[in-house]
Amino acid sequence: MSIVYRYGSNLYINLTNRCPCSCVFCIRDSTPRLGDADSLWLKEEPTSDQIMAALREADADNAGQIVFCGYGEPTERLETILETAPRIRSELKKTVRLDTNGLGNLINGRDIVPDLAQAVDSISISLNAPDAESYKKITRCRFDAQEAYDSLMDFIRECKEKIGAVTVSIVGGYQPPEDEERCRLIAEELGVRFRVR
């Protein structure tokens, strides 16, 4: 069970197995590992102290940035992000990124962006599709498709306003080329970076 794993030059924090989506491309369905992790399936969710200890053990001094990511959706554990991110910034002197599906407001039943803006330096948000119908097919989200997609778009807009450093992404090969282009245009319209994974 890996709380922290190295992938490329960054260290990733594996907070939870919980996620409101079951995306068609999710690696959870094909492998228990990523980077140098032995297994990303958590037996229990780590505390902030356990995360900090794991980061130190993983030689955080030689990492690029620290990323909340992992097998589940990090905002399922918002309070742990908000407790741990400031510690990473102050104790380890590292920048913090959040990789998210962008549904944190629905998950937590409130607007979480103002809190995230105080905790993270940048955010990468999975856009996944150019419209609600395609989004539902790709993410198999437990929320209503239109509600989820509208919440995602609002989340991206607010993150752009309050956090600034925002990238939206899709996983290539899971939508027709015209939908990929529509996603790129959405990112351009929103003024955020676009990445195909």
Using CA atoms, how far residue 166 sits from 101, 102, 141, 142, 182, in Å, is: 13, 11, 22, 25, 18
Domain boundaries defined on the chain: 4-196
- Which runs of E-coded beta strand occur in the chain? 4-7, 10-14, 66-69, 96-100, 122-126, 166-170, 193-196
125 - beta bridge partners? 100, 168
What string of pLDDT tens digits covers the 197 residues of the chain?
Answer: 689 989 889 999 999 999 999 888 866 665 544 555 566 768 899 999 999 999 999 998 899 999 999 779 999 999 999 999 999 999 999 999 999 999 999 999 999 999 999 999 999 999 999 999 999 999 999 999 999 999 999 999 999 999 999 999 999 888 889 999 999 999 999 999 999 98
Name the one residue in this structure whose structure tokens are 């599906």.
Answer: 101
pTM above 0.85, yes or no: yes
pLDDT for residue 175:
85
The candidate with the shortest Cα–Cα distance to 101, out of 68, 79, 146, is 68
Contact indicator for 125, 45 with CB cutoff of 8 Å: no
Q: What is the bridge-based pairing of β-strands 66-69 and 96-100?
A: parallel
Q: What is the bridge-based pairing of β-strands 10-14 and 4-7?
A: antiparallel
- What is the homologous superfamily of the domain 4-196 according to CATH? Aldolase class I (3.20.20.70)
Q: What is the DSSP string of 40-54?
A: ---SSPPPHHHHHHH
Q: Is 63 left (phi over 0), alpha (psi -120 to 50) or beta?
A: beta
Q: Is 137 left (phi over 0), alpha (psi -120 to 50) or beta?
A: alpha
**Secondary structure element (H or E) that encloses residue 136, with its range:** helix 132-139
